[in-house]
Chains A and B, each alone.
Chain A
């Protein structure tokens, strides 16, 4: 039972792949102490961003995509194991740790001049990086409207402002178009978003996913609950009787859709009866607030309007 208590810090947080890195291991604290001594000789203070020899480490998959999208992939010297797009570029970039759990030692070994992290990241990790004398930038990249400004900020930091502005403007225009279309909709099907199956988790009001679903023409049944990510009660989902169910996860065995279809008592839900349970999405598009988000919304829209 003490095990549960210790892991209890993960209790109230959404699954880690939804931007909630866990706390640092205590062994890493020792590492930090050792590295502090070593780092004095190793790295100097950050150089000016536009000086030659800019070396960027990205601590989030969305930031990696943005860095590559603004044409700065040659400056990227470190990424997390979760950063997998664009594939041909990132295979050449060293992995410096897991998302939310970067290895400080490997981070330092890349001699970065700039470390990019998203502002949802656990601040203790961020502070430790700064204590090591590295230049860290927090980029706000949480909701749809954050994306264009995040792109522009990265562009400024990496001296690719021109391309960044162009990309940001394009994204903004696409999103505005989608918003206008969504605003004109007369009716919306109710949607139940499932982000994990065992136990069933969903995304509530004010989450990125909820926004995407709205733009794609649906209405998230969890919008009435003012929590971000939570375990959904089966009874509640049944009582809401959603028209569409979206399974946004990779099941280890078999298809995610079948798991939902076979649940006892769920066969009378409208979505199940009408065959509107969808899986097999490119989850990266939907779970990462990044430059490809519009693609993701279009895929959702296509399924929802079927």
Chain B
């Protein structure tokens, strides 16, 4: 079983502040994993280290067996794609142009996008049901539509692993579901590894088979939703009382924080 993303005793952070401390885990290929944890626990930093946007100060990070920091950008793009929370551009690109941007790493510098490039873009837009709006300006779309376009852009990159950084946090429940279903399809049908950072514990529990709980830069828990989402672990990590209910009919979990007043 190849490892898609492996952290080994990684310490990383920003100028004065070390955020991740001795972080070790391994995500095998084909898995759909969620990274959860309170604010400031280092979830976004984890993603940035995985994409080599930040270099770790200690430890090693490997992506599909290769050192992340040593990967040439073009190859890395073919391995890892990122769906951020939102994508802003001050320039008035159309949907198709945005999705084509995903191909930047593979586009020929000298020629126009080839037929192969165009068909990849078409397929990515079909997959995310965005082909109908391909000539509309990106800036005029709603939040849900934009995220689907961004996913199409990442798909055009054709990565083997997709990282999602709170990609559905600002969407309404319908669009959230829409996006998650696309991602689940990608994981099940195409075998794309998915690592998603989320604040929504219930969503994570519903779609992901494995949860990594981060607390102050360290791995506090690692396992299935049932193993990780226990009242004791959550109360200690999030420093607030929770109730975890198991739905008797389908076995799904519901996490509810307990009010203090």
Are chains A and B touching directly in their complex (CB below 8 angstroms)?
Answer: no
